[in-house]
């Protein structure tokens, strides 16, 4: 029997992700792509452009800005949106901003108000019925059972029991008036796949992923890089220049750096093959009780 | 220098990782079989668990492990306690791991009977199914059900992981008995490739390296098996692509986006759009932002056509020589997923590939007992039940039978009121072909005819002494092939001499003509796409070479059914040897005329040492490999 040419794992992942994005656009009334500026978002955007070429992507990107992102992230976001000719919507929870949140001393509330609530606001305000996100199932055991098309009930809540089976990648996108979908085209990708794909395709990512000398200080056992002066140093803390990089990107006071010499993609991948530290170990908001991701998901974070 | 070597080594490793392929497998078994422990241990032994997670597992084992405080590897996989509150412990959990050779996507399926529906998502995309078997219990009802569901969803490779071997003292006799029973079960259900492996998840036996506890096991350890198993994907099918989305940025471009379901497509190819039946030609094959020379099954592309014809989402663009069929009524298998029962006559929405149609089940032919395969009467269908049904759509759709193409033959049913996905099924065949759809007549050749049969034409030439068992074995081979869905014909020497060749005798000239005619007929039948079994004594090498030359190398497989003359003479089923010895038959092969044994037959059978069934199984295995 003749066998069709074997596609590589990356080829298959790419084709499936493109298929998922096209399904979303074909079946949903008003979809949006959640853009978080991180490496997964860079891959999502790259796939989005491929999926609809030569047309301009028929949906905008939405960035929920907590106002505590690294400056380099925002610069990168604006330049990429311009260069790729994609419509970018920025949403900031103005009410939350007025009331004020403190990512340093109350990380949980900050994340809830500026990220979770903010995302719900944005989706409701624009009337988006489907939000494409870059979450992967391998990121956290809580995601192992997540669907590719995840149904959210009223208030964007994840309702575990109402999730739909997806045999043959057949996605049921029918919605009741108050329901929405979260769509995860990178569900089957691992962190390694993401980096290998970035390497293969030459996708640009925020330079914070690469090791460089940066001003660091230690707080709550986390190595932080001071991005602006909104967080005063406490007695005993001092800025030490260290060669560090980030494995994930978020609000700068909540994102721990790792000491590393990996200054390019090959270095990053080599480090990942070597250290075998799970990806989210560096992110402070995940140093909560082990079901935190689960709870945030139910609240509509992802 | 060391640094340079490191850099080269890294570059090589990254190149390997970038070019590795995928294996999607479904893991079936219940908690009691040690499924989570097996997967967890496999990952840990292969060095694929991050150190912080391993450390957490060791800590957690002390407080809520099931191994009396010792490391409980199942904790590496178990979801959260919240799952229990949410009632989703029974959902399929997706796991990901990989080696430098291959990336694995694992559908970790729940085991219990009431969770049959949860296996559907996992099995539908699996290329391999691993069925956990408890060595102490052997093949259970549950084993039969898991294997039957894998078979229903078209999984053609099954590996039985016989676990807890430590608890049967690594007994090879017990293991081999279970292995035999498992493999037979799979074959009976129509699964082509079945293997077994003896493991103990607790002791890591045969997971990554051969275990010293099973010196009698000569197969591969589990990880190596997974890394090397070859999956025949989308057998060189005819081109078909369901249209997902029409890409029309401006008046200069109109493209049809989709993932190629089967075959390949290139600019210049003629295509038919179904169900309308309109013909056109491909202009561009666009993949990402570049124009491709061609695209193959599995690739996401955008096609442009020469004609401004009406093409919409749900249509299928296909090879006009072998297009998918078009119908609106089907015989299908249906697995019910919802807690509300299926009611025949109720209207649902069906989704197949990219098309959507109104659907109703017009008749439940019978329900199928997943444990015994028995047919049961049924008027409705509740969750986890499987039935054979007639399905009627409110419009024509293009499809292929599920056994030929999973993506063009697998469907879901959606409830229009609750919006829940309530059922999933596989199309078997169309009940009424729509005769209004016509395609242009094209030259149909051997490749086309065999493609539609999903097989490669071959000529199996059985040669050997009279009484060696050629016809018996050839018959068994044909029965097995037929059962596996192959299209065959058997040409038996005796029968052909009664008809086509009844004008020929046994002189040298007649013998050659006899073989020439049979070889020509075999060739014609191969052109029709068939697998041809020829059972002829054909004693002379030169004759068989003639047949081989006529039919062509590659298509010709010489099967030498070897048994000593004394054995054949003793069997003497037709009493011919006795007559020959008595001088009543001249030039009888083996007595008055020599038999020239093949020097390099493709298959050499020893019918005095093998049973006919074993010999036939070997032939089928070599043929279908």
Q: Are B221 and B210 in contact (CB under 8 A)?
A: yes
Is B445 a residue whose pLDDT tops 80? no
Span of A251-265, B430-444, B598-612 with lowest mean pLDDT: B430-444
Average pLDDT over residues A201-223: 94
Report the DSSP pairing between strands A240-245 and B21-28: unpaired
A53·B286 Cβ contact <8 A: yes
| Positive/negative CA dihedral, B98, A185, A55, A126 | negative
Q: Nearest CB to B80: which of A9, A269, A294?
A: A294
Residue B538 is among the residues annotated as catalytic for this protein: yes
Q: Nearest CB to A145: which of B91, B286, B300?
A: B91
Calpha distance A210→A198 (Å, rounded): 14
Is B208 a residue whose pLDDT tops 90? yes
Q: Give the per-residue pLDDT at B308.
A: 83
A168·B349 Cβ contact <8 A: no
Q: What is the pLDDT of residues A29-44, one digit of tens each?
A: 999 999 999 999 999 9
Q: Are A47 and A20 in contact (CB under 8 A)?
A: no
Per-residue b or e along B253-285, where b marks 16 or more CB atoms closer than 10 Å to that residue's CB:
ebbbbbbbbbbbbeeebebbbbbbbbbbebbeb
Is B432 a residue whose pLDDT tops 80? no
- B141-152 helix and B172-188 helix, angle to the nearest 10 degrees: 40
Is B82 a residue whose pLDDT tops 70? no
How many CB atoms lie under 10 A from the CB of residue B600? 7
Calpha distance A106→A127 (Å, rounded): 30
Is B606 a residue whose pLDDT tops 60? yes
Which positions in chain A touch B52 (Cβ < 8 Å)?
277-278, 281
The shortest C-alpha distance from A146 to chain B (Å) reads: 8
A1·B624 Cβ contact <8 A: yes
Calpha distance B179→B183 (Å, rounded): 6
Listed in sequence order, the DSSP H helices in chain A are 9-27, 39-52, 71-84, 94-99, 107-111, 118-126, 191-201, 265-275, 292-298
Instruction: Look at B622 and A294; give whichever has higher pLDDT.
Output: B622
Interface test with B, best of A3, A6, A8, A9 (most B CBs within 10 A): A9
Calpha distance B503→B501 (Å, rounded): 5
Is B438 a residue whose pLDDT tops 50? no
Calpha distance B479→B620 (Å, rounded): 10
The CATH number of B10-228 is 3.40.50.300
Average pLDDT over residues A287-301: 44
Sheet holding B157-163, edge to edge: B93-98, B102-109, B21-28, B128-134, B157-163, B193-198
Average pLDDT over residues B186-200: 95
B236·A3 Cβ contact <8 A: yes
Is B439 a residue whose pLDDT tops 70? no
Instruction: Look at A141 and A115; give whichever has higher pLDDT.
Output: A115
Average pLDDT over residues A181-204: 96
Instruction: Look at A295 and B118; give whichever has higher pLDDT.
Output: B118
Q: What is the pLDDT of residues B18-48, one digit of tens each?
A: 999 999 999 998 667 788 889 889 989 888 8
The shortest C-alpha distance from B504 to chain A (Å) reads: 37
Where do the domains of chain B lie? 10-228, 235-318, 325-436, 446-624
Instruction: Using pLDDT thresholds of 50, 70 and 90, give the confidence band for residue A285.
Output: very low
Which positions in chain A touch B296 (Cβ < 8 Å)?
4-5, 7
Q: Which two tokens stand for residue B416?
A: 């229009």
Q: Give the per-residue pLDDT at B269.
A: 96
With 0-12 CB in 10 A as exposed, 13-18 as middle and 19+ as buried, what is B342?
A: buried
Domains B235-318 and B446-624 share a fold: no
DSSP secondary structure, B104-141, as one string: EEEEEE--SGGGHHHHHHHHHT-SEEEEEEETTT-S-H
B412·A22 Cβ contact <8 A: no
Q: Which two tokens stand for residue B391?
A: 């399905």
What residue has token string 């493991």? Answer: B199
Three-class SS state of B256:
strand
Calpha distance B525→B519 (Å, rounded): 10
Q: Give the per-residue pLDDT at B31.
A: 62
Q: Are B459 and B532 in contact (CB under 8 A)?
A: yes
Interface test with A, best of B78, B226, B302, B339 (most A CBs within 10 A): B302
Which positions in chain B touch A14 (Cβ < 8 Å)?
300
Calpha distance A227→A242 (Å, rounded): 14
Average pLDDT, chain A: 88
Ramachandran category for residue B543: left, alpha or beta (phi over 0 → left; psi -120 to 50 → alpha): alpha
The shortest C-alpha distance from B32 to chain A (Å) reads: 20
Which positions in chain B touch A22 (Cβ < 8 Å)?
244-245, 257-258, 300
| Phi/psi at A247 (5° precision) | -90, -30
Instruction: Look at B406 and B113; give whichever has higher pLDDT.
Output: B406
Instruction: Using pLDDT thresholds of 50, 70 and 90, give the confidence band for residue B168.
Output: very high
With 0-12 CB in 10 A as exposed, 13-18 as middle and 19+ as buried, what is B293?
A: exposed
With 0-12 CB in 10 A as exposed, 13-18 as middle and 19+ as buried, what is B324?
A: buried
Is A287 a residue whose pLDDT tops 60? no
A51·B352 Cβ contact <8 A: no
The shortest C-alpha distance from B242 to chain A (Å) reads: 11
A190·B91 Cβ contact <8 A: no
Instruction: Using pLDDT thresholds of 50, 70 and 90, give the confidence band for residue A5.
Output: very low
Query: pTM for the complete prediction?
Result: 0.77
Instruction: Using pLDDT thresholds of 50, 70 and 90, give the confidence band for residue B78.
Output: low
Average pLDDT over residues B95-104: 92
What residue has token string 């004394």? Answer: B566
Instruction: Using pLDDT thresholds of 50, 70 and 90, give the confidence band for residue B83.
Output: low
Q: Give the per-residue pLDDT at A142.
A: 75
Average pLDDT over residues B249-258: 94
Domain B325-436 has CATH 1.10.760.10: no
| Phi/psi at B109 (5° precision) | -95, 145
Is A114 a residue whose pLDDT tops 60? yes
> How far separated are the first and last CA of chain B, in Å rounded?
46
Cis check: omega of the bond before B238, within 30 degrees of 0: no
* B459: β partners: B532, B556
Which one, of B487, B482, B480, B515, lies nearest residue B500 by Cα? B515
- The enclosing H or E element of B328 equals strand B325-336
Which positions in chain A touch B86 (Cβ < 8 Å)?
160-161
Q: What is the pLDDT of residues B338-393, one digit of tens each?
A: 999 998 888 899 999 999 999 999 999 999 998 888 999 998 899 989 999 999 99
CA-based nearest residue in chain B for residue A274: B50
The shortest C-alpha distance from B286 to chain A (Å) reads: 8
DSSP secondary structure, B474-541, as one string: HHHHHHHHHHTT--EEEEEHHHHHHTTTTT--SSHHHHHHHHHHHHHHHHHHHHTT-EEEEE-----H
| Phi/psi at B454 (5° precision) | 65, 35
Superfamily of domain A2-195+291-298: HUPs (3.40.50.620)
CA-based nearest residue in chain A for residue B22: A9
B78·A170 Cβ contact <8 A: no
Interface test with B, best of A142, A168, A261 (most B CBs within 10 A): A168
Where do the domains of chain A lie? 2-195+291-298, 206-287
Which positions in chain B touch A12 (Cβ < 8 Å)?
22, 298
Calpha distance B562→B453 (Å, rounded): 32
What residue has token string 């047949």? Answer: B547
Q: Give the per-residue pLDDT at A251.
A: 93
Q: What is the pLDDT of residues B266-281, one digit of tens each?
A: 999 999 999 999 999 9
Span of B22-31, B426-435, B460-469, B577-586 with lowest mean pLDDT: B426-435
Three-class SS state of A31:
strand
The CA distances from residue A221 to A83, A287, B219, in Å, are 39, 11, 49
Interface test with A, best of B91, B97, B485 (most A CBs within 10 A): B91
Average pLDDT, chain B: 88
| A-B contacts at Cβ under 8 angstroms | 212
Q: Nearest CB to B52: which of A165, A175, A281?
A: A281
CA-based nearest residue in chain A for residue B20: A8
Q: CA triplet A132, A138, A143: central angle to 5 degrees?
A: 65
Q: Are A172 and B421 in contact (CB under 8 A)?
A: yes
The shortest C-alpha distance from A140 to chain B (Å) reads: 9
* pLDDT above 70 coverage of chain B, percent: 94
CA-based nearest residue in chain A for residue B92: A145
Average pLDDT over residues B392-410: 93
With 0-12 CB in 10 A as exposed, 13-18 as middle and 19+ as buried, what is A99?
A: exposed
- Active-site position among B19, B538, B607, B611: B538
Calpha distance B390→B330 (Å, rounded): 6
How far is CA A22 from its chain centroid? 20
Calpha distance B283→B303 (Å, rounded): 7
| Phi/psi at B392 (5° precision) | -125, 130
Which positions in chain A touch B410 (Cβ < 8 Å)?
167-168, 170
Three-class SS state of B264:
strand
Q: Give the per-residue pLDDT at A276.
A: 56
Architecture per CATH, B235-318: Beta Barrel (2.40)
Q: Give the per-residue pLDDT at B234.
A: 65
Residues 6 or more apart in contact with residue B11 via CB below 8 angstroms: A266
| Residue B409: HSE in the Cβ half-sphere, 13 Å Cα cutoff | 24
How many CB atoms lie under 10 A from the CB of residue B63? 7
Q: Which two tokens stand for residue B130?
A: 């691993």
Instruction: Look at B370 and A227; give whichever has higher pLDDT.
Output: A227
A141·B102 Cβ contact <8 A: no
Q: Give the per-residue pLDDT at B81.
A: 52
The shortest C-alpha distance from B51 to chain A (Å) reads: 6
Is B574 a residue whose pLDDT tops 50? yes
The topology under which CATH files domain B446-624 is: Rossmann fold (3.40.50)
- Rounding to the nearest 10 degrees, give the CA dihedral for residues B581, B582, B583, B588: -30
| Phi/psi at A7 (5° precision) | -85, 155
Q: CA triplet B16, B21, B23: central angle to 5 degrees?
A: 135
Which one, of B503, B245, B26, B66, lies nearest residue A51 by Cα? B245
A291·B80 Cβ contact <8 A: yes
């Amino acid at each position: 029997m003749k066998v069709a040419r074997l596609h590589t794992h990356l080829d298959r992942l790419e084709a499936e992700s493109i298929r998922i994005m096209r399904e979303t656009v074909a079946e949903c009334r008003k979809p949006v792509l959640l853009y978080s500026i991180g490496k997964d978002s860079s891959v999502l955007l790259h796939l989005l452009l491929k999926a609809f070429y030569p047309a301009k992507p028929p949906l905008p990107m939405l960035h929920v800005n907590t106002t505590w992102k690294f400056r380099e992230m925002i610069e990168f976001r604006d330049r990429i949106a311009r260069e790729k000719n994609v419509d970018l919507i920025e949403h900031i929870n103005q009410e939350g901003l007025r009331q004020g949140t403190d990512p340093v001393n109350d990380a949980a509330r900050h994340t809830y108000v500026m990220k979770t609530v903010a995302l719900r606001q944005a989706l409701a305000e624009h009337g988006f019925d489907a939000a494409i996100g870059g979450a992967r199932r391998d990121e956290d055991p809580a995601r192992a059972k997540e669907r590719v098309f995840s149904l959210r009930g009223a208030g964007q809540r994840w309702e575990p029991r109402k999730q739909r089976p997806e045999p043959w990648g057949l996605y049921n996108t029918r919605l009741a008036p108050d329901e929405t979908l979260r769509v995860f085209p990178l569900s089957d990708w691992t962190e390694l796949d993401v980096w290998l794909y970035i390497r293969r395709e030459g996708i640009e990512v925020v330079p914070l992923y690469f090791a460089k000398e940066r001003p660091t200080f230690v707080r709550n056992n986390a190595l932080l890089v001071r991005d602006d002066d909104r967080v005063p140093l406490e007695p005993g803390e001092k800025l030490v220049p260290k060669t560090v990089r980030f494995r994930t990107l978020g609000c700068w006071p909540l994102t721990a750096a790792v000491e590393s010499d990996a200054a390019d993609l090959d270095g990053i991948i080599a480090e990942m093959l070597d250290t075998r530290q799970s990806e989210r170990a560096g992110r402070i908001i995940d140093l909560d009780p082990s079901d935190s991701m689960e709870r945030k998901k139910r609240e509509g974070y992802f | 220098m060391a640094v340079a070597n490191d850099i080269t080594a890294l570059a090589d490793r990254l190149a390997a990782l970038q070019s590795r392929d995928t294996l999607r497998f479904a893991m079936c078994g219940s908690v009691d079989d040690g499924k989570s422990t097996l997967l967890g241990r496999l990952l840990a032994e292969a060095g694929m668990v991050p150190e912080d997670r391993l450390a957490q597992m060791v800590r957690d084992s002390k407080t809520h492990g099931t191994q009396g405080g010792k490391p409980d590897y199942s904790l590496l996989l178990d979801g959260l306690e919240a799952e229990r509150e949410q009632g989703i412990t029974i959902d399929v959990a997706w796991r990901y791991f990989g080696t430098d050779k291959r990336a694995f996507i694992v559908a970790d399926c729940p085991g219990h009977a009431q969770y049959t529906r949860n296996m559907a998502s996992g099995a539908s995309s699996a290329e391999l199914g691993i069925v956990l078997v408890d060595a102490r219990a052997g093949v259970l009802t549950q084993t039969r059900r898991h294997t039957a569901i894998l078979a229903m969803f078209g999984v053609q490779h099954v590996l039985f992981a016989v676990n807890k071997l430590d608890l049967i003292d690594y007994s090879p006799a017990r293991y081999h008995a279970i292995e035999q029973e498992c493999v037979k079960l799979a074959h009976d259900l129509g699964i082509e490739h079945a293997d077994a492996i003896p493991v103990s998840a607790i002791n890591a036996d045969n997971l990554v390296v051969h275990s010293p506890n099973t010196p009698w096991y000569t197969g591969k350890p589990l990880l190596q098996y997974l890394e090397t198993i070859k999956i025949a994907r989308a057998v060189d099918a005819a081109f078909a692509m369901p249209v997902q989305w029409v890409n029309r940025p401006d008046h200069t471009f109109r493209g049809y986006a989709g993932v190629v379901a089967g075959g390949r497509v290139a600019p210049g190819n003629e295509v038919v759009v179904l169900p309308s039946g309109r013909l056109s030609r491909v202009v561009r094959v666009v993949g990402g932002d570049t124009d491709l020379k061609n695209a193959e099954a599995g690739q996401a592309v955008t096609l442009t056509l020469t004609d401004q014809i009406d093409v919409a989402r749900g249509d299928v663009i296909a090879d006009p020589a072998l297009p998918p069929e078009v119908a609106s009524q089907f015989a299908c298998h249906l697995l019910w997923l919802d807690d509300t029962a299926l009611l025949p006559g109720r209207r649902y929405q069906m989704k197949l590939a990219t098309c959507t149609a109104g659907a109703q089940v017009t008749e439940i032919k019978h329900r199928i007992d997943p444990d015994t395969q028995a047919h049961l009467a049924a008027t409705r269908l509740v969750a986890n039940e499987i039935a054979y049904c007639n399905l009627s759509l409110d419009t024509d759709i293009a499809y292929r039978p599920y056994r030929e193409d999973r993506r063009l033959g697998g469907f879901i049913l959606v409830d229009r009121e609750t919006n829940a996905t309530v059922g999933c099924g596989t199309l078997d065949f169309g009940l009424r072909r729509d005769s209004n759809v016509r395609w242009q007549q094209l030259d149909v050749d051997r490749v086309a005819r065999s493609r539609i049969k999903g097989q490669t034409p071959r000529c199996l030439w059985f040669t050997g002494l009279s009484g060696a068992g050629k016809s018996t074995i050839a018959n068994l081979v044909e029965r097995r092939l037929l059962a596996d869905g192959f299209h065959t014909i058997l040409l038996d020497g005796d029968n052909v001499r009664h008809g086509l060749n009844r004008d020929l005798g046994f002189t040298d000239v007649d013998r050659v003509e006899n073989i020439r005619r049979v070889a020509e007929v075999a060739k014609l039948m191969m052109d029709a796409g068939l697998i041809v079994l020829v059972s002829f004594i054909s004693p002379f090498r030169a004759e068989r070479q003639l047949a081989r030359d006529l039919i062509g190398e590659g298509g010709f497989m010489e099967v030498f059914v070897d048994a000593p003359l004394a054995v054949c003479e003793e069997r003497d089923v037709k009493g011919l040897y006795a007559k020959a010895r008595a001088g009543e038959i001249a030039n009888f092969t083996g007595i008055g005329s020599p038999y020239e044994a093949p020097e390099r037959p493709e298959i050499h059978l020893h019918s005095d040492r093998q049973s006919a069934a074993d010999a036939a199984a070997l032939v089928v295995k070599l043929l279908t490999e």
